[in-house]
Amino acid sequence: MTEGAGVAVRAGVTGRAGVAVGADVTWSAGVTVGADVTAGVDVTVGTEITERHGPRRGGAGTWVALALLLGLMLAAPAQLSAAALRVVTTVAPITSIVENVAGDRARVAGIVPEGVNSHTFRPAPSVARTMARADLIILNGLNLEIPTLKLARANKRPDTPVLLLGDHTVAEQGYLFDFSFPEDQGHPNPHLWPDPVHVMNYARLVRDALIEGDPGGRAVYAANTERYLKQLEALDKAAAAAVATIPPRNRRLLTYHDSWPYFAKRYGFRVIGAVQPSSFAEPSPREVARLIDQLKRERLPAVFGSEVFPSPVLRQIAREAGTTFVDNLRDDDLPGEAGDPVHSYTGMMLENIRTMVTALGGSADALKAVDPAPVAGHHARYR
């Protein structure tokens, strides 16, 4: 313990499952001892004691605060790591990607609830406090989370980086535009993550950002990333093998939300349309009639809805066109519950590919060899 002007001592202990213990202790000409203790999700205990008349050794308030800190540190489990990065993410697939790279070395928290429309989601004002405490903010980018990005830039600390994964993964000439994201509106389709190869780049970007913020964790982040890349490579190979079993004429997609163009390009599908227009409203009667006529001509065995966007209109279109309606594709809602092996980006994609392949006349057997569980365990907080 050191006394003197401007001498600061910082101690922090960070545990898994969202448990954190931290303290800032400063001894100076006007001695200030502060301890902030946060346990669980929303429970906060704070102590701040200021002695204004110069340094004194052994003041009662000082020793109370230090005793509190020491007791909390001794009570913490042995596996806790010091000064963990606070990383804020958005949609669940992005949170899962970051979780795989960070493991338990960083505290990762997603702010977009699963099963909501990430394009129109507006964070609650309380999320501003989360942004203000963050050491690193990671978004998909490509204009997917515009309200969240504005909130982050308005409330983050000046030195907190914001990483936009999509903007650093696809160059402008690689942008895809479609019915829901028309080129004349200037915003490319932002759904890069259904393509596992793009997610491999996301993982590398996350690794580099984590190392920048926490150089001492380089070996952990690098090892986790290597393991995760192997899982993603296995997913990519299994997806290609499963899609290859679909009769070629059936490798066409009509979906409700336009989430699949990068996936389709990777695996040789042709996207023939999407029901939801760029306004995210329901299609007009004229558009519905056009889609019904198109389906009758194309003779698709199935059309695909979304768990996030329930659509009676697409069900009607499928019925009138004489095709099967499958309503459980998911692009930002992970299967299962937090902590389940399938509650991961890989688990989500395995379920999506299995759904598509079987509905279009193929076999999903190749997918059975892929383990969906996070390579470094479950540690992130999902909403």
pTM for this model (two decimals): 0.76
Q: Which of 364, 366, 306, 369 lies closest to 332, judged by CA?
A: 306
pLDDT at position 280, please?
55
Backbone angles phi and psi of 84, in degrees to 5: -65, 145
pLDDT at position 1, please?
42
Structure tokens at 171: 């160059």
pLDDT at position 285, please?
82
What span, in angstroms and rounded, lies between the C-alpha atoms of 228 and 207?
11
Backbone angles phi and psi of 315, in degrees to 5: -60, -40
Do 110 and 250 reside in the same domain of the chain?
Answer: no
Q: How many domains does the chain have?
A: 3
Q: Coil, helix or strand for 68? A: helix
Do 191 and 56 reside in the same domain of the chain?
Answer: no
C-alpha of 155 from chain center: 20
Strands 7-14 and 20-27: antiparallel
Do 274 and 315 reside in the same domain of the chain?
Answer: yes
Q: Which of 335, 375, 354, 92 lies closest to 229, judged by CA?
A: 375
What span, in angstroms and rounded, lies between the C-alpha atoms of 193 and 165?
10
379 in a domain, yes or no?
no
pLDDT at position 26, please?
33
What span, in angstroms and rounded, lies between the C-alpha atoms of 334 and 342?
8
17 in a domain, yes or no?
yes
Contacts of 158 (CB under 8 A, 6+ apart): none
What span, in angstroms and rounded, lies between the C-alpha atoms of 365 and 367?
5
Do 325 and 205 reside in the same domain of the chain?
Answer: no
Q: What is the dihedral of CA 341, 345, 348, 354, to 10 degrees?
A: -100
Do 135 and 224 reside in the same domain of the chain?
Answer: yes
pLDDT at position 351, please?
97
378 in a domain, yes or no?
no
pLDDT at position 310, please?
63
Do 232 and 255 reside in the same domain of the chain?
Answer: no
What span, in angstroms and rounded, lies between the C-alpha atoms of 136 and 86?
7
pLDDT at position 91, please?
94
Q: Residue 82 class from Cβ within 10 Å (0-12 exposed, 13-18 middle, 19+ buried)?
A: exposed
pLDDT at position 89, please?
97
Q: Which of 367, 368, 295, 305 lies closest to 333, judged by CA?
A: 305
Structure tokens at 48: 């701040």
**383 residues of the chain, pLDDT tens digit each:** 443 333 333 333 333 333 333 333 333 333 333 333 333 333 333 333 333 333 334 444 544 444 454 444 444 333 435 479 999 999 999 999 999 999 999 999 999 988 776 666 778 888 999 999 999 999 999 998 888 999 999 999 999 999 999 999 999 888 887 666 767 777 888 999 999 999 999 999 999 999 999 999 999 999 999 999 999 999 999 999 999 999 999 999 988 767 899 999 999 999 887 775 545 566 778 878 888 888 888 888 998 887 766 677 888 888 898 999 998 889 888 999 999 999 999 999 999 999 999 999 999 999 999 999 999 999 999 98
Q: What is the CATH number of the domain that holds 122?
A: 3.40.50.1980
Domain limits for position 316 = 246-369
pLDDT at position 70, please?
44
